[in-house]
Structure 1
Amino acid sequence: MSKQQPQLSFWQIWNVSFGFLGVQFGFALQNANVSRILSDLGADLHSLSLFWLVAPIMGLIVQPIVGSASDRTWNRLGRRKPFILAGAVAAALGMYLMPNAPLFVAFMAPMLFGALMLALMDASFNVCFQPFRALVSDMVPPKQRNIGYSVQSLLINIGAVVGSILPFVLTNVVGLENTAKAGQVAPSVMWAFYIGASVLLGSVLWTVFRTKEYAPQDYAAYKGLSVQEATPSLQRAPLLTRLSGFFALVASMPKTMKQLAVVQFFSWFALFIMWVYTMPAITQHIWEVETQWFDPAYLSGLEVVPAHILAAKGAAGDWVGILFAAYSLFAAFFSVVLARMADRFGRKTIYAGALFLGGISYISFLFFQNPTQVEVDLLITQVTVPQGAVNLMIPMIGVGIAWAAILAMPYAMLAGALPADKTGVYMGIFNFTIAAPQIVSGLFSGWILSSVFDNQAIYIVLLAGGAMLLGAVSVFFVQEHEPAVE
């Protein structure tokens, strides 16, 4: 027998998602700095996208497994919280170790160790991500779903702002060095990862201790299920049986989920390119550092890299953090009004419009090349950077609006189409629509950059813009579904 699920206060919704702030803090540090770290450790532009394949592959493997397991887990800590906590601990470990890759040179090449720590962090972030998505679906009633995912998007972007800007702050306010010799990691980046790991653990512990998940019988009643449906057997079926059941779920996924998969493909194909290639793109296009300075073979033939090249790379790497913080900040602002706009104008209209702005913004990168040095007051410090770098703040508005919508709208549109007893596993399967386009992008974007664009990274960003525009068009083919019983 079903009963009305209680409405949550704003602060209850806040506590449910607060741990995501720390998870995204760590994820933002990774997104803004891993290309920089791997380049310093010896990776070339072509191979960068291949290293970044670790992230979507980990998501592809981990999230469906964790989603299915969390659907079947009920213990004193909760249903989703055990996985969130375990993932946070493992992610923090990877964040503490990755910047110290050169210390492990006796055991393996620093670049290989860095790649392994990237895999550990990504696997762990994914262990956190999926249960957090499902936790909102579990705890927040349907009428509050827009606000629930919008609050989650807001917290994600607050974490992303601070995480992205942290290395810049540690350099320009605290005074840590932001340049690195070959095979080393800049001190500002190392300490940013240490701080990020600590914030991640603290925020996740807040959610774990401040959120009480529903007991099985209450959850079953709120979702219109029997207790048996809400608490499936924990006995492990034979592997073939489990695989057969999994593929049956994939084959029978709701139509809304299939249609959203097309939108997700174009969106995440573009995002992957941005995370991997923004640093080399603006270093070349704005700081006018030639492509040869990203070629390990060329660098290995030099006795020393000129100081002005190291300084330009360090400054550009720091500015990537500022740009990523900017789009996350704009996303956070947009998240505040996102739910109301979706309620008034419809999710599809807002989602498509946001992706359109994101696509135009990527394409506009090409038109902001201006090497004139200007002094910029960032409130916390003053820096001198090219005017073109400052102008890139404009397209970050559109990128931020697109990012806020990507974080919230697909899940708000999808949640009403999923059966309550399989929300976790379907949210995990839905991660395929995030991982697959990144894998495709990782396999081909490096080849396209070297073979088609002659390692001029700005042009791969334009390709990302075209993909985002196709995503905007695809939104209008999605048919939404809401449950008949509230």
Structure 2
Amino acid sequence: MPSAAQWQGTPSVKGSTESMRMALLTASLIGLQFTWNVEMTYCTPYLLELGLTKSKISLVWVAGPLSGLIMQPIVGVVADRSTSRWGRRRPFMFFGTILVAMFLLLLGWTKEVVRYFIKDEAAAKSATIYVAVFSIYGIDFAINAVQGSCRGLVVDTLPIAKQQMGSSWASRMVAVGSLIGYGAGAIDLKNVFGPMLGDTQFKQLTGVAALTLCLAIGTTSWAVTERVLINDGAEEGKELDLKQVLGTIVHTALNLPRSIQAICTVQFWAWIGWFPFLFYSTTWVGEVYLRYDAPAEVKAAGDLTGKVGRIGSMALIAFSIITFVMSVLLPFFVQSPEEDEKGPGFSRPSKQSTGLAKYKPSLLTAWTTAHCIFAGKINRLNTSSSHSAHPKRTSIDLPEAQSNLEKGSAPSSSGGASSGQYLGIMNLYTTLPQFMGTGISWVVFSILEPGKSPELSEAPPEEHHKTDGPNAIAVCLFIGACSACMAVVATRRLGRIQGRL
């Protein structure tokens, strides 16, 4: 019969103050978010410049949900049973980071690498597209392994009483990573580093992203000491195999507690809304700029991918600033689970609440409000696509409320043997809707803009898509707004379920 898991050591984090320890524990998320931002901000215009159509690019972005669907649950389950003397999470973080950095550099220097091996111009152009897509898939698969391990490390290291604080700090570090990432993407890095990191903005940024990720993951890995799993309690001589891993994941996903299943439903609808915003907003802003506002000399100067990326990143800096400010302020203005009558529930304030505490909105109310604001903001984006004025872009994320909802209901504890498994299941509900988002965007682009980009592609004019009529990205954003409204309905249903528990 299986025995109880056996452990050695106690998890700890370096640092003289609690704030310092929390910052070091979650510092890895800065590098992760920086890397995601580079991919989401620059890769779509980069692929458009290489000659891919938007409909084909939407199929490339299936890499994100596919890698999340495969890597995070599997790595979570495998890491849960790891008996490495370095801990269960940090080995995956270390080796995954090396792979991400290598693929980032390959993506930035795709043209040079291909032309080193292939001299024929036509064949080199085709091969460049394949290598670029391969690099994106490599980045996504490797970084999902790293991301799942980083999240698991936070859960493993903190006691239950500190989990909510850990969620808050994780949200702040994600916001910091976004702010730094969009800031780096908005400035002309060639003027900062010169030719040292490459001759284009994209090369410079992939190099900076690789370095940032290595430093962030290295900082957290140095600061954290994991407890070591000696025996996971499985039957002696019974090895972990792929069938067992997949079986564990499926069984867990089909037997989630009602409250967690309800949270997953909210995640599902919300992420259909987030998908077009995250992957196409920079391209949308850049296209509007190049199509209506950019002077002729700007278009003729070359490195259009860098120009689109910088304009889009500048627009998204406001988004990242709002995200950071809200991640800091929300814990003070939103009711915490400790103030709730039902402990880990999220519905009604305690009757003993006094002063301002009784006026604080619950986590569910804050989460619902965030969905409404997001739906309204991204719906407004599609109304200005035909105007020459620079688009205004603001939005609000609510990672703090979402993270607290997840942590408050997750049936895992600090260092729990199944923490990676449950985090992997939660991740399924952010990846599955991205498959739907990919399908939706593919249909929209295929109908409305089937040709190549007239702003970025060097293809002859007859191969370009038309610029009159509805903007395809704007239509995708409108569909995302409708999905965010469905997330509002699902969040209210979660409130009713919590009220009956």
Same fold (TM over 0.5): yes
Contact 2:97-2:214 within 8 A present in 1 as well: yes
Matching residue within 367, 370, 381 for 1:351: 367
Pair 1:426 & 2:422 matched:
yes
Contact 2:12-2:226 within 8 A present in 1 as well: no
Q: Which amino acid aligns with 1:207?
A: T
- Equivalenced residues, count: 429
* Mapped partners of 2:32, 2:209: distance in 1: 9
Matching residue within 264, 275, 278 for 2:281: 278
Deviation at 1:98, TM superposition (A): 0.3
* Mapped partners of 1:308, 1:266: distance in 2: 42
* Mapped partners of 2:235, 2:68: distance in 1: 24
Pair 1:256 & 2:259 matched:
yes
Give the match's secondary structure for 2:396: helix
**Equivalent residue runs for 1:25-424 within 5 Å:** 25-105=34-114, 106=117, 109-170=127-188, 174=192, 187-216=200-229, 229=233, 235-237=238-240, 239-285=242-288, 287-288=290-291, 307=299, 315-340=307-332, 341-343=334-336, 344-368=360-384, 386=389, 388-389=390-391, 391-392=392-393, 396=394, 399-402=395-398, 405-406=401-402, 408-416=403-411, 420-424=416-420
Q: Which amino acid aligns with 1:21?
A: I
Contact 1:286-1:371 within 8 A present in 2 as well: no
* Mapped partners of 1:207, 1:238: distance in 2: 30
- Relative distance call for 1:146 and 1:284 in structure 2 (3 A) is same
Give the match's secondary structure for 1:400: coil
Contact 1:99-1:189 within 8 A present in 2 as well: yes
Runs of 4+ in 1 over 4 A off after TM superposition: 4-8, 231-235, 237-242, 284-287, 308-314, 367-372, 403-406, 416-419, 452-455
Deviation at 1:145, TM superposition (A): 2.0
Contact 1:45-1:455 within 8 A present in 2 as well: no
Deviation at 1:176, TM superposition (A): 6.9
Q: Which amino acid aligns with 2:406?
A: Y
**Uncovered stretches (5+) of structure 1, i.e. residues with no partner:** 178-184, 218-226, 291-304, 373-385, 482-486
Q: CA RMSD in A?
A: 3.4
- Relative distance call for 1:18 and 1:468 in structure 2 (3 A) is same
1:376 corresponding residue in structure 2: none
* Mapped partners of 1:189, 1:24: distance in 2: 17
Deviation at 1:228, TM superposition (A): 5.2
Matching residue within 447, 450, 472 for 1:456: 472
Contact 1:266-1:468 within 8 A present in 2 as well: yes
Deviation at 1:198, TM superposition (A): 0.5
Contact 1:19-1:204 within 8 A present in 2 as well: yes
* Mapped partners of 1:426, 1:232: distance in 2: 22
Deviation at 1:361, TM superposition (A): 0.8
Give the match's secondary structure for 2:494: coil
2:26 corresponding residue in structure 1: 17
- What are the Cα deviations for residues 135-159 of structure 1, in whole angstroms up to 9, with x where unaligned? 2222222222222111111111111
- What are the Cα deviations for residues 284-322 of structure 1, in whole angstroms up to 9, with x where unaligned? 4455459xxxxxxxxxxxxxx993696887544312112
* Mapped partners of 2:193, 2:384: distance in 1: 29
Q: Which amino acid aligns with 2:366?
A: I
Deviation at 1:39, TM superposition (A): 0.9
Deviation at 1:162, TM superposition (A): 1.3
* Mapped partners of 1:5, 1:239: distance in 2: 29
Contact 1:165-1:321 within 8 A present in 2 as well: yes
Q: Which amino acid aligns with 1:151?
A: W
- Relative distance call for 1:247 and 1:156 in structure 2 (3 A) is same
* Mapped partners of 2:72, 2:313: distance in 1: 27
Give the match's secondary structure for 1:134: helix
Deviation at 1:168, TM superposition (A): 2.3
TM-score when normalising by structure 1: 0.79
Contact 1:329-1:400 within 8 A present in 2 as well: no
Q: Which amino acid aligns with 2:435?
A: I
Contact 2:40-2:280 within 8 A present in 1 as well: no
Greater Cα offset, 262-271 or 240-249 = 240-249
- Relative distance call for 1:242 and 1:207 in structure 2 (3 A) is closer
Greater Cα offset, 442-451 or 206-215 = 442-451
Contact 1:13-1:140 within 8 A present in 2 as well: no
Identical-residue share of aligned pairs (%): 19
Deviation at 1:249, TM superposition (A): 2.1
* Mapped partners of 1:14, 1:101: distance in 2: 35
Pair 1:443 & 2:439 matched:
yes
Deviation at 1:449, TM superposition (A): 3.4
Contact 2:285-2:315 within 8 A present in 1 as well: no
- Relative distance call for 1:425 and 1:234 in structure 2 (3 A) is farther
- Relative distance call for 1:311 and 1:37 in structure 2 (3 A) is closer
- Relative distance call for 1:233 and 1:325 in structure 2 (3 A) is farther
